[in-house]
Amino acid sequence: MSVTEEILEFLCTPTITGKGVAMNGIGLPVMFFDLFAPSTIRSAVSKLKKKKYVVFSGSRIVVTKEGERYYKKRSARMRMFDSPFPKNAPRNLLLFFDIPEERKAEREWLRRQLRKFDYTMIQRSVWVGPSPLPKEFKDYVKHISLDDHLKVFKLAKGYTGKI
């Protein structure tokens, strides 16, 4: 997901507000914007404004109806799965992918999903992590026609990151 989409997701996700400060579910201030360089945030917000997904209302950024529609359409299209793996599960599955540039959104979705499954990136399109991949995830990959772009290999010994 691009920074622009993450900002839109942040703005569209309901939060509890305390004295004008966005709060998470346990009442701590949300520090989303600390995750990115100020220039990255400015550029992303500028793109959102140019596409008419957000407007400025005083010192606040407000998501427009177009922005909400875009966010809902985007989040419905790219389903995320919870990880079924324990935190220190052995990394015994090697996954390669070669997804064409015109399917960049799906490629970025796959990378996010692999991170969520606690996979480690070896190269941009080579990942290693626990196995087996959940059936519903594999079914979804097939449903969005990515299965022909993925290759999966079971490792004889778990990956430790050392040679």
Q: What is the CATH number of the domain that holds 65?
A: 1.10.10.10
Residues 97 and 66 reside in one and the same domain: no
CA distance 30 to 5: 17
Decide which of 76, 110, 131 is a domain's last residue. 76
Question: Which residues does the chain have with pLDDT short of 50?
Answer: 26
Residues 14 and 64 reside in one and the same domain: yes
Q: Does residue 159 fall inside a structural domain?
A: no
Q: What per-residue confidence (pLDDT) applies to 114?
A: 94
Phi, psi of 63 (to 5 degrees): -75, 130
What domain range includes position 41?
A: 3-76
Q: What per-residue confidence (pLDDT) applies to 33?
A: 64
CA distance 54 to 68: 9
Residues 99 and 72 reside in one and the same domain: no
Q: What per-residue confidence (pLDDT) applies to 96?
A: 96
Q: What per-residue confidence (pLDDT) applies to 143?
A: 87
* Contact criterion met (CB below 8 Å) for 4 and 36: no
Q: What per-residue confidence (pLDDT) applies to 29?
A: 58
Residues 53 and 12 reside in one and the same domain: yes
* Contact criterion met (CB below 8 Å) for 31 and 48: no
